[in-house]
Amino acid sequence: MEDKPSDLVQGTLDMFILKTLALEPMHGYGIAVRLEQMSKGVFRLNAGSLFVAFQRLQRAGLISSEWKATENSRRAKYCVLTDQGRKRLNSETQEWGRQVAAIARILEAS
Amino acid sequence: MSLLRSIAGGLRSLFRKEQVSQELGEELNDFFELAAEEKMKEGMSRKDALRAVRLERGSLEVSKEIVRSAGWEFFVETLWQDLRFAVRMLRKSPGFTTVAILTLALGIGANAAIFSMVNALVLRPLPVHAPNEVASLASQPHGLGSSNGFSYPDFEDIRDQATTVFRDMTGMQPSHMDGFSMNGQSQPIWTSYVTTNFFQVMDLQPALGTFFGPSDGGIDGSEPVLVLSYSFWKNHMGGDPNIVGRSASINGCPVTIIGVAPEGFRGIYSILDTQGYLPVGMATATLDSPKDFLTNRSVENIEILGRLKPGMNVGQAQPVLAVVGRQLSEQYPEIHKWDWLQAFPGGPLNANPQDTAVIESMAAFFLLLVGLVLVLACMNAANLLLVRAAARQPEMAVRAAFGAGRGRLARQLLTESLLLAALGCVGGIVVGVAASRSVNSINFASAIPLVFDVTFDWRVLAYAVGAALLTGVLVGMTPAVRAARRDLNPLLHESSRTSTGDRQRARSVLVVAELSGSLMLLIIAGLFVRSLRSVERSDLGFDPDHVLNLTISPTDAGYDEAQASQFLKQVLQRARALPAVESASLAATIPMGHYNYGEELKIEGYETSPGQQRPLAGYNAVSREYFRTMRIPLIRGRDFFDSDDRTSQYVAVVNEEMARRYWPNQDPIGRHFTTGKDSTHPIQVIGVVKNSRTQHLTGSFRPYFYRPLTQSYVTPVTLQLRTALPAATAFHQAVDLIHSLAPAMPVFDVQTMTQALNTLNGLLLYQVGAALTASLGTLGLLLGLVGVYGVVSYAAAQRTHEIGIRMALGAARSSVLKMILRQGLIVTAAGVLVGALLAGAIGHLARDLLAGVSPMDPLTYVCASGLLAAVSLLACYIPARRAMRVDPMVALRYE
């Protein structure tokens, strides 16, 4: 596990989770797999960090959860993005874009 | 919203622990199962797949722990654990716990008690609405002390010219005692004569009836009305609901009771309970205020209180008042030469910067002393905790080895010390309440309703809790930091008995500090006790032994001067005929009493240069035989005769100081002077008596003269008897005698002359000072004793092994004893030295509070040092003896 989430920029894990859930409700393992796929294996999360983030997001009202059957008909807890979470994702994405652009300008300035 | 959700989520996992944990377990389990299924699809066996997942994603139990410890509720949970553990640890060593809690309780309690006094005297605001808007005025007449007395016309001018910052102002005569009669019963009442807007300015609502209207209490004696205080109405009128509209009389003048002030309003003087309020205009009718005081600018008997406009502060008022003061000084240059006119926050007592400064410095001094007691208590508790921390090192090491973080260990220790402090705080509040109860019950030996209302309000509680918190953190900090910093590994290997010299030194420093603090408290206590003794033994100039006082107020019984004179003459005649009464006399004031009369004089042949203060002298109106009763030696001339009355030449007896100052190198007998009040009757000096104490027990004597009561009638008067009879018997006889002549005559302040000296002017402050410092000194000594004993006995116990070896190798018991005692001696000597130096510094601050003893009084220093050294060595000797008795075999075999 060379790339632990603690190496992520602070707060980005929450954003990733929200982004993953923007498409459809997912269960914990699904989110982990999707994140790995999207990052091409760069971010490999361990269960502890992931579930701490779930708890945090849930308490902040950004996601909610419900028990559903999985594709191979197992019962699992699915995370669902709330309206508030969607709003937050939009604003965070914009903010991120602004910051990246600003950082790029600074680094490229000579 | 999200905060609420967070709290709800946290609470759920706190109180639904099982369920939440199970849910989380299921979720995590799903996660791992799904991950394993993925791997199994790639062809792994289930067992290998699960193992791979565990390696990649962490184990289920660890993940569960991580999630659990992320929420805020985890902190609460561990705190609860820590607390439970702390309680268990404290219960396991009841001796340590008791000593530590008692130590802290005494320290915190003493602080709470002293602070509650300071609170009552200095901090507590006026009991009115928005007290921070109320300010009192004072002026600084050029060349004299500042004064809060103004004339009524001044009051009106200032009120009308300062309306930009003050919403309104009220004026009042300084409160004093009147006689209140109702239904033939008379009693003293402490009253304030106030302008009719007083209650509006104070923003108070009557509990019953109404307050004054603008036309109440005319100067001509019309509309005489009275407002009673709530406590007087409750305690003296039985809370009569029909009191409003009833008739009564004040000093013989009929008044109508129109209302009762709200509960809890004791007037505007911090320690005086004002019992009644009258319109200021009535002061001429019921008192001897000059008839023209409402218009005469030189009668300065009005105190001024202003209510600032909302949002204004005292600082904003100063420039406005400065202008008003300058204008008045320019307008009336022959009356006012004010350097400044200023407002002071709070009641009129605050408008006396010199007095306030004295009270504040006294308060600060005692807070400093009692703060020191708390520091001593803290050091003691810290010491005990350090000793215990040393004993608990193996436990800490084991806990660390099982994975407790250093922060967690420190937190555990801090929790323990805070718990100790909290228990100490509870004990301290109990001690404090008990201590302030005993202060409340101080007998002020007076009919004046003094209320030293030392109650625990939120300020005192906040102070006590703050002190406890600080104590807990300070005391717990050292061991906690040590625990957090320590490399625990070697400890697990090392024997637990070898103590490091470093800690030993730290404890020695603590003990030296404690001893020096104790000594300082002891020396201060010694100085105050010596000061009290010196004041008690000082030459009063009169002999208070076997003199009994009974104050009677003929005016309150409705007697006019002629009737009163007749009555008093009879009282004297009959009293002198009582068995075993050596002499009987009357006096308007008694030494150290609450009344003091002073007069500006015009003395024949004594010219004052312009700008110089006119001669001033205190005076007393007395009857024949006064000097004999008080045993004040008459040096020259004669005593008064019964025949000295209004029809004969006005006469006076002066004291030596007055004779020396105003008739230097001349014979004062036969000379004349007049008083400011009555310039038409020259008074002839007929005798000179020795100086005696009248108003203060210390300082230089001031000019003083005595006039016959028959020429200068004052009421109430005190009947004084010199008798060999036991006080109780004589009082009984005297009261019977008075009531046989006038059944309704109020008799109060019935006490021996010795008791009467214990007033605020007299011995009371010295007594309170000595009692306070003596209790603090005792406390300090006790704490010092516990500290030394604790440390020396611990050190001795730690050296048991070493002592065993020494003795096995042939050391004599006496040399072991010497070895242990030497350590104690060094520490004691250092403590005494540092303590004496500190006391020198602090005693200097107490200079003004001491009388007849220097703050560097060598006797006090020597005695206190000797006492402390003796106690400290005794505290060393007991553990040293125990060490001496060590059986070498036992000591060596142990471990």
Q: Which residues of B touch A60 (CB under 8 A)?
A: 2, 5-6
Q: What is the pLDDT of residues B648-683, one digit of tens each?
A: 999 999 999 999 999 988 899 999 999 877 788 899
By the CB < 8 Å criterion, does B33 face chain A? yes
In the beta sheet, which residues pair with residue B276?
A: B191, B228
- Percentage of chain B lying above the pLDDT 70 cut: 91
**Cα–Cα distance between B472 and B103 in angstroms, integer?**
13
Question: In b/e form, how buried is each residue of B851-866, taking b as 16+ CB within 10 angstroms?
Answer: bbbebebeebbeebbe
Q: Please tell me which residue of chain A has the smallest CA distance to B31.
A: A29
| CB contact (8 A) between residue B27 and residue A29 | no
At B89, is the pLDDT very low, low, confident or very high (cuts 50, 70, 90)?
confident
| CB contact (8 A) between residue A48 and residue B33 | no
CA atoms within 13 A on the CB side of B28: 28
ipTM of model:
0.78
Which residue did the predictor score with more confidence, B441 or B718? Answer: B718
| pLDDT exceeds 80 at position B839 | yes
Q: Which residues of A touch B21 (CB under 8 A)?
A: none
Q: DSSP 3-state assignment of B572?
A: helix
The answer to whether B724 and B582 are in contact (CB under 8 A) is yes
Q: Please tell me which residue of chain A has the smallest CA distance to B29.
A: A76
Q: What is the pLDDT of residues B529-564, one digit of tens each?
A: 999 888 888 888 999 999 999 988 887 777 888 899
| pLDDT exceeds 50 at position A5 | no
Q: DSSP secondary structure string, B131-169?
A: GGGEEEEEEEETTS--B--B-HHHHHHHHHH-TTTEEEE
**Cα–Cα distance between B602 and B615 in angstroms, integer?**
7
Q: DSSP 3-state assignment of B209?
A: strand
Q: DSSP 3-state assignment of B540?
A: coil
Mean pLDDT for A55-81 is 80
Residues 309-348 on B with a CB inside 8 Å of A are none
Q: At what angle do helices B94-118 and B458-485 cross, to 10 degrees?
A: 140
| CB contact (8 A) between residue B34 and residue A49 | no
Question: In b/e form, how buried is each residue of B206-243, taking b as 16+ CB within 10 angstroms?
Answer: bbbbebbeeebbebeeebbbbbbbbbbbeebbeeeeeb
Sign of the torsion angle spanned by Cα atoms B135, B136, B139, B140: negative
Please return the burial class of B786, using the count of CB atoms within 10 Å of its CB with bins 0-12, 13-18 and 19+. Answer: buried
Q: Which residues of A touch B35 (CB under 8 A)?
A: 29, 32
**Cα–Cα distance between B50 and B59 in angstroms, integer?**
10
Find which of B24, B27, B42 to mutate to test the A interface (most A CBs within 10 Å of its CB).
Answer: B27
Q: Please tell me which residue of chain A has the smallest CA distance to B66.
A: A48
Q: What is the pLDDT of residues B721-763, one digit of tens each?
A: 999 888 888 888 898 899 888 877 878 778 888 888 877 667 8
By the CB < 8 Å criterion, does B27 face chain A? yes
CA atoms within 13 A on the CB side of B816: 27
Q: Please tell me which residue of chain A has the smallest CA distance to B25.
A: A51
Computed over every residue of chain B, the mean pLDDT equals: 83
Q: At B695, phi and psi to the nearest 5?
A: -115, -35
Q: Please tell me which residue of chain A has the smallest CA distance to B26.
A: A76
Long-range pairs for B489-498: beta carbons < 8 A, 24 or more residues apart: B489/B397, B491/B393, B491/B394, B491/B396, B491/B397, B492/B394, B492/B397, B492/B398, B492/B401, B495/B895, B496/B391, B496/B393, B496/B394, B497/B798, B497/B801, B497/B895
Quote the tokens at residue B278: 């009258």
**Range of weakest confidence among A96-110, B149-163, B412-426, B588-602:** B588-602
Mean pLDDT for B7-16 is 75
**Cα–Cα distance between B90 and B137 in angstroms, integer?**
57
Q: Please tell me which residue of chain A has the smallest CA distance to B59.
A: A47
| pLDDT exceeds 80 at position B715 | no
| pLDDT exceeds 50 at position A87 | yes
Q: CA of B60, closest CA in chain A: separation in Å?
A: 8
Sign of the torsion angle spanned by Cα atoms B158, B159, B165, B170: positive
Mean pLDDT for B143-163 is 85
Q: Which residues of B touch A2 (CB under 8 A)?
A: none
| pLDDT exceeds 50 at position B568 | yes
Counting one residue from chain A and one from chain B, the pairs whose CB atoms sit within 8 A come to: 79
**Cα–Cα distance between B672 and B670 in angstroms, integer?**
7
**Cα–Cα distance between B681 and B84 in angstroms, integer?**
86
The closest of B627, B654, B645, B653 to B713, measured between CA atoms, is B645
Provide the 8-state DSSP code for B262.
Answer: P
At B387, is the pLDDT very low, low, confident or very high (cuts 50, 70, 90)?
confident
The answer to whether B857 and B846 are in contact (CB under 8 A) is no
Q: Give domain limits for chain B.
A: 2-70, 73-125+357-496, 131-345, 502-542+757-895, 547-756
Q: CA of A65, closest CA in chain B: separation in Å?
A: 11
Provide the 8-state DSSP code for B846.
Answer: T
pLDDT recorded at residue B454: 60
Please return the burial class of B516, using the count of CB atoms within 10 Å of its CB with bins 0-12, 13-18 and 19+. Answer: buried
Q: What is the pLDDT of residues B626-648, one digit of tens each?
A: 999 999 999 999 999 988 888 89
In the beta sheet, which residues pair with residue B600?
A: B616
Find which of B32, B66, B73 to mutate to test the A interface (most A CBs within 10 Å of its CB).
Answer: B66
Computed over every residue of chain A, the mean pLDDT equals: 80
pLDDT recorded at residue A2: 39
| pLDDT exceeds 70 at position B443 | no
**Cα–Cα distance between B518 and B532 in angstroms, integer?**
21
pLDDT recorded at residue B313: 86
pLDDT recorded at residue B496: 45
- Domains along chain A with CATH numbers: 5-108 (1.10.10.10)
Mean pLDDT for B278-304 is 78
Mean pLDDT for B512-523 is 91
Q: Which residues of B touch A44 (CB under 8 A)?
A: 56
**Cα–Cα distance between B355 and B359 in angstroms, integer?**
6
Instruction: Look up residue B715 and give its amino acid.
Output: T
- Percentage of chain A lying above the pLDDT 70 cut: 85
| pLDDT exceeds 70 at position B233 | yes
Please return the burial class of B14, using the count of CB atoms within 10 Å of its CB with bins 0-12, 13-18 and 19+. Answer: middle
Give the one of A48, A52, A59 whose C-beta lies nearest to B62's C-beta. Answer: A48
At B511, is the pLDDT very low, low, confident or very high (cuts 50, 70, 90)?
confident
By the CB < 8 Å criterion, does B647 face chain A? no
pLDDT recorded at residue B833: 92
Find which of A51, A82, A83, A88 to mutate to test the B interface (most B CBs within 10 Å of its CB).
Answer: A51
**Range of weakest confidence among B120-129, B371-380, B485-494:** B485-494
Q: DSSP 3-state assignment of B317?
A: helix
Residues 66-85 on B with a CB inside 8 Å of A are 66-67, 70-71
Of A51-55, B193-197, B497-501, where does the model show the most confidence? B193-197
Q: DSSP 3-state assignment of B638?
A: coil
Find all residues with CB under 8 Å of B844, minimum gap 6, and list them. Answer: B855
Find which of A6, A17, A58, A59 to mutate to test the B interface (most B CBs within 10 Å of its CB).
Answer: A59
* B149 phi-psi bin (left φ>0, alpha ψ -120 to 50, beta other): beta
**Cα–Cα distance between B478 and B534 in angstroms, integer?**
45
The closest of A63, A14, A8, A52 to B69, measured between CA atoms, is A52
Alpha helix ranges (H) inside B217-352? 230-236, 283-286, 314-331
| CB contact (8 A) between residue B66 and residue A45 | no
Q: Which residues of A touch B26 (CB under 8 A)?
A: 77
By the CB < 8 Å criterion, does B5 face chain A? yes
Q: Please tell me which residue of chain A has the smallest CA distance to B53.
A: A46
**Cα–Cα distance between B795 and B869 in angstroms, integer?**
19
At B289, is the pLDDT very low, low, confident or very high (cuts 50, 70, 90)?
low
**Cα–Cα distance between B849 and B363 in angstroms, integer?**
11
Q: DSSP secondary structure string, A5-17?
A: GGGSPTTHHHHHH
pLDDT recorded at residue B286: 66
Quote the tokens at residue B69: 């410890």
Mean pLDDT for B694-699 is 81
In SS3 terms, B672-729 reads as: EEEECCCCCCCEEEEEEECCCCCCCCCCCCCCEEEEECCCCCCCCEEEEEEECCCHHH
**Cα–Cα distance between B634 and B653 in angstroms, integer?**
9
**Cα–Cα distance between B196 and B155 in angstroms, integer?**
13
Q: CA of A27, closest CA in chain B: separation in Å?
A: 8
pLDDT recorded at residue B29: 83
Find which of A29, A34, A52, A82 to mutate to test the B interface (most B CBs within 10 Å of its CB).
Answer: A29
Instruction: Look up residue B723 and give its amino acid.
Output: T
Mean pLDDT for A22-46 is 82
Mean pLDDT for A34-42 is 81
Please return the burial class of A75, using the count of CB atoms within 10 Å of its CB with bins 0-12, 13-18 and 19+. Answer: exposed
In SS3 terms, B85-110 reads as: HHHHHHHHCHHHHHHHHHHHHHHHHH
Q: What is the pLDDT of residues B603-620, one digit of tens each?
A: 888 877 766 667 888 899
pLDDT recorded at residue B456: 65
Q: Which residues of B touch A29 (CB under 8 A)?
A: 30-31, 34-35
The answer to whether B773 and B524 are in contact (CB under 8 A) is yes
Peptide bond just before B716 cis, omega within 30 deg = yes
| CB contact (8 A) between residue B31 and residue A28 | yes
Please return the burial class of B440, using the count of CB atoms within 10 Å of its CB with bins 0-12, 13-18 and 19+. Answer: middle
Q: Please tell me which residue of chain A has the smallest CA distance to B36.
A: A29
At B802, is the pLDDT very low, low, confident or very high (cuts 50, 70, 90)?
confident
By the CB < 8 Å criterion, does B28 face chain A? yes
A→B contacts (Cβ < 8 Å), by residue, are 1, 27-30, 32-33, 44-52, 55-56, 58-61, 70, 72, 74-77
**Range of weakest confidence among B85-99, B149-163, B280-294, B458-472:** B280-294
Q: How many residues does chain A have?
A: 110
The answer to whether B214 and B196 are in contact (CB under 8 A) is yes
Q: Which residues of A touch B33 (CB under 8 A)?
A: 74
pLDDT recorded at residue A6: 43
pLDDT recorded at residue B632: 95
Q: DSSP secondary structure string, B581-634?
A: EEEEEEES--TT-S--EEEEEEETT-PPPTTSPPPEEEEEEE-TTHHHHHTPPE
Q: Which residues of A touch B65 (CB under 8 A)?
A: 48
pLDDT recorded at residue A4: 45
By the CB < 8 Å criterion, does B3 face chain A? no
